[in-house]
A and B are shown apart, each in its own frame.
Chain A
Amino acid sequence: MSGGFTLVEPEADAEPQADVIIFGQPEKSHTGWRPFLWLAAAAATWLIAWYVIQDLADWISYTLLGLEHGSRVGESLAFFLYDVPKILLLLSGMIFLVTVIRTFFSAEKTRAVLSGKRLGLGNAMAACLGVLTPFCSCSAVPLFIGFVESGIPLGVTFSFLISAPMVNEVALGMLFGMFGWQIAGIYLVTGLMVAIVAGFVIGKIPHVERGVEDFVWDVAVGKTEIAAANLTWGDRMAEGWKATKEIVGKVWPYVLIGIAIGALIHGYVPENALAGILGAEAWWSVPASVALGVPMYSNAAGIIPVVHALTEKGAALGTVLAFMMSVVALSLPEMIILRRVLKPRLIALFVGVVATGILLVGYLFNMVI
């Protein structure tokens, strides 16, 4: 399948370095029933908040501030005051859940599972593991080299590298909050499909491995043995809580700005104003939105509220979905990171194949819905 090259075995035959720590995991063990008590309290608070935010937003806008029902200012404000806590709640819940699930996975385990897998099944597994494995695009280079050196086919590696940033907890949480679980589900499934098919196609291209920088094949990867983590459920929850605080702390300004812009569009842009340029009939709007998405390196948190408001005013769902995927899956900073291990022609191929996949998703939805 990856004909014409032999993999260079790492020359480092030294003893593996033992008991290496993965930083960032809880240092103290959280045992006993206390973590569960915390979880129950947090879940109860979450649910109460969930049920009062709508009334609270209405009360502040219409009673406290005395704005008129149906007035533009009133509508926009009530929309903003309801959406911000709603989205932040869903986002927190999603990040917590995904992080707890991810404590069962690691890049090392994923690498071991995928090594020696063939194109096809390997791509499907890689795409799914891309969602479940803790991954930061800042570590894309060591991860890429580690994957390639342990004999994972390039196409399979790409499936992982496409799905990991595209199908992430922030995008899913935001979509869930703004569009409902159906659209979040559709995004999850189509995102995985794009990752699987694009990785498969890249892997099928003859001599594709020549697009990898030559030094990558000669790297001698050291061996390590990770100190056994033995996480308790309390540890996993502690990690989930930590990640929730960290990510929400980072993205909330984007959520706020995104929802503020969305609220303005909601209140001030006339119904169907965008149907002409962003509607399903405008065939060119899908490629245009994909092209527009590449240089935009925004996280899903800021983009989705705006995009949601646009669909209310007549933008087609497929167009909007394609735009979002392009923003998160094809970002310039990630290309620059990958440039360290990939030659420009392979980067171009990567962008081309992924963009085509996203384009097809966009058209498909515009046709179906």
Chain B
Amino acid sequence: MVIKVLGTGCANCVRLKELANAVIQELDIEGEVVEVTDISTIMGYGVTATPGLVIDEKLIGYGGVPSKAQLTSLVQQAA
């Protein structure tokens, strides 16, 4: 599983990245968390606010940091 965090280094982007790392570790899922900082690539996913969360090339959500429970269930659904 590839989790992409779309963002240009804002505080929430960093928080989302850390949260995603923690979640895949806890769920013991094989995967990596990648940061996407190129603005053209970010816009290609169709977000209007950062950070954005992409799991296996599908845009899941954006505009904030989900709760840990929400992120966990989203990752489980995608796995």
Contacts and interface: CB of A to CB of B under 8 A. Distances in A.
Contact of A145 (B12, B39, B60, B74): B39
B43 A27 contact: no
Nearest to B41: A219
A16 interface: yes
Nearest to B6: A142
Interface residues of B, number: 29
A23 B50 CA distance: 10
Contact of A340 (B8, B58, B70): B8
Interface in B42-76: 42-50, 53, 58-67, 69-70, 74
B69 to A, nearest CB: 8
A12 B40 CA distance: 12
Contacts of B53: 23
Query: For chain A, which range describes its interface: under 10, 10 to 19, 20 to 34, or 35 or more residues?
Result: 20 to 34
Main secondary structure of the interface of B (DSSP, over half): mixed
B76 to A, nearest CB: 15
B11 interface: yes
A146 B48 contact: yes
Interface string A1-13: 0000000000010
Interface in A121-164: 136, 138-139, 141-143, 145-146, 149
14 contacts: A17-B45, A20-B46, A22-B62, A23-B70, A24-B66, A138-B10, A138-B12, A141-B8, A146-B48, A219-B40, A220-B40, A220-B43, A222-B45, A222-B47
Interface of B: 8, 10-12, 39-40, 42-50, 53, 58-67, 69-70, 74
Chain A to chain B: the 8 pairs with minimum beta-carbon distance, closest first = A24-B64, A222-B46, A21-B61, A23-B64, A224-B46, A139-B49, A138-B10, A107-B48
Given A16-B46, A20-B46, A141-B50, 6 more contacts: A24-B64, A107-B49, A141-B39, A143-B48, A224-B46, A224-B59
